[in-house]
Structure 1
């Protein structure tokens, strides 16, 4: 293993929860290297947690162990698992949909249930509300540092048995592509869609082309306008909207030096649909 442990949660950093997870991991092995993916996942938002893993996991070395805790069902009958990805990283998490994007986009080759008789923090009593500390950080640190092997996590389960969230596929329909707003580029307010570059290219596009962009929430129209497809934000004027390819090779929507999401009160999820239609150039 790499001795790299990467933590993600919806805990925030205003109390001691994240620090306690660090402490547990360091108690397992003080030489472990611990990193934060983010602790700003919106509370209980499993979808965002799933997407941030997809955004990050494949860029870490093989053997890296991720602990993701967005767990509104903590203490219930939901399972605790460790998944091995096709790119040879490990994800320690509740089985509540957090693995959706990893399974779909990267691939999962094996999943094991966490055997809490063995892989639970000693002297953690009968508390069932902080599995992030007592089960996930403890198991993740032990796996990362080689105290246990992947096989010693617990019994193997069918990859197809893991819980998955609803995912809508982007599609080409006549002269337009249709997709969803999957996530926000939080800091800058850009919209990240599920429309990959290859599908978008089927509209016979090139930089500088104009497109009509329509965004709906369920059946309510939220935004409709014309914008340009650019290589980067510099290809538009200050405050102008544009289409671009984001860092995950999918189509994004932005305002140059502004927050598109805030300006038009746009959120994310399968109910937020986007339609992108190429506007033919006028002939003379």
Structure 2
């Protein structure tokens, strides 16, 4: 049965790269449903690619095939892989950390290293710089269209051998919680943390409470202020900061009608830590 193919990359849409990936997939099966997750991942930013997969994957039906290509090591000895996730989805991607968030949250049931002698766009064997088109889009489309089964993607490898990015897990203590800035709500500049809403419930922090918020980068404090825990942006005046619960049920930090990330030059990853104190 034909499934859906969802594409993600850091290619942008200012040239023909994404169109070429669509063309390859369409040539495999003209009736295949092909969608774009995003192609605006910052160049080479594997962390953000990993997060965006996790952010969206479980909203798609089981069996959906994702192709994720953020691949600064293209043409090197890094592996090309296909995985089946605990949520019943498939991902075709380089083995470079792109699956970090999925492996932590949904789990990975099975991993196969792509057999590039079989699963490679015909007549592309001399190209080593566009595996997104020649290997990933081609293999992903063949899998989604039912031309190949997951078992014929390539030989099995152990999930434990996959490359993982460093992640600092959120923690809860006496009247305080701590985590990292996982990602930015790009268009609006809000900070999305990896701290679940339930941590505030355990500390009996309610809407309207005032919190002390500290942000550190590589152990150096870059922001410290008090702000309100609000149900929505309407709970503060324009230009004021607030803590809120984002669409993934984690804690976020924002400036009402402003960009927190730009105002304080905040970025993402395990070396960007955030603390909330009652």
* TM-score (norm. length: structure 1): 0.96
Q: Distance in 2 between matches of 1:235 and 1:202?
A: 22
Contact kept in structure 1, 2:10 and 2:40, CA below 8 Å: yes
- What residue ranges of structure 2 are gaps of 5+ in the alignment? none
Please list the CA deviations of residues 79-135 of structure 1 after superposition, one character each: whole Å capped at 9, or x if unmatched. Answer: 111111111110000000000000001111111111111100001131111100000
Q: Distance in 1 between matches of 2:173 and 2:152?
A: 49
Residue 173 of structure 1, CA deviation? 2.6
Q: Which residue of 1 aligns with 2:123?
A: 123
Task: Summarize the alignment of residues 1-284 of structure 1 with structure 2, pairs less than 5 Å apart.
Answer: 1-278=1-278
Q: Distance in 1 between matches of 2:142 and 2:268?
A: 35
Q: Distance in 1 between matches of 2:50 and 2:185?
A: 15
Q: Distance in 2 between matches of 1:17 and 1:125?
A: 18
Q: Distance in 2 between matches of 1:231 and 1:91?
A: 35
Q: Distance in 1 between matches of 2:197 and 2:82?
A: 31
Please list the CA deviations of residues 223-250 of structure 1 after superposition, one character each: whole Å capped at 9, or x if unmatched. Answer: 1111111111111111111111111111
Q: Distance in 1 between matches of 2:2 and 2:159?
A: 24
Contact kept in structure 2, 1:2 and 1:64, CA below 8 Å: no
Q: Which residue of 2 aligns with 1:282?
A: none
Residue 183 of structure 1, CA deviation? 0.5
Please list the CA deviations of residues 239-274 of structure 1 after superposition, one character each: whole Å capped at 9, or x if unmatched. Answer: 111111111111000111111101111111111111
Residue-pair matches, total: 278
Q: Distance in 2 between matches of 1:237 and 1:2?
A: 50
Cα RMSD (Å):
0.9
Q: Distance in 2 between matches of 1:245 and 1:106?
A: 21
- What residue ranges of structure 1 are gaps of 5+ in the alignment? 279-284
Determine helix, strand or coil for the equivalent of 2:58.
helix
Determine helix, strand or coil for the equivalent of 1:6.
strand
Residue 2 of structure 1, CA deviation? 4.7
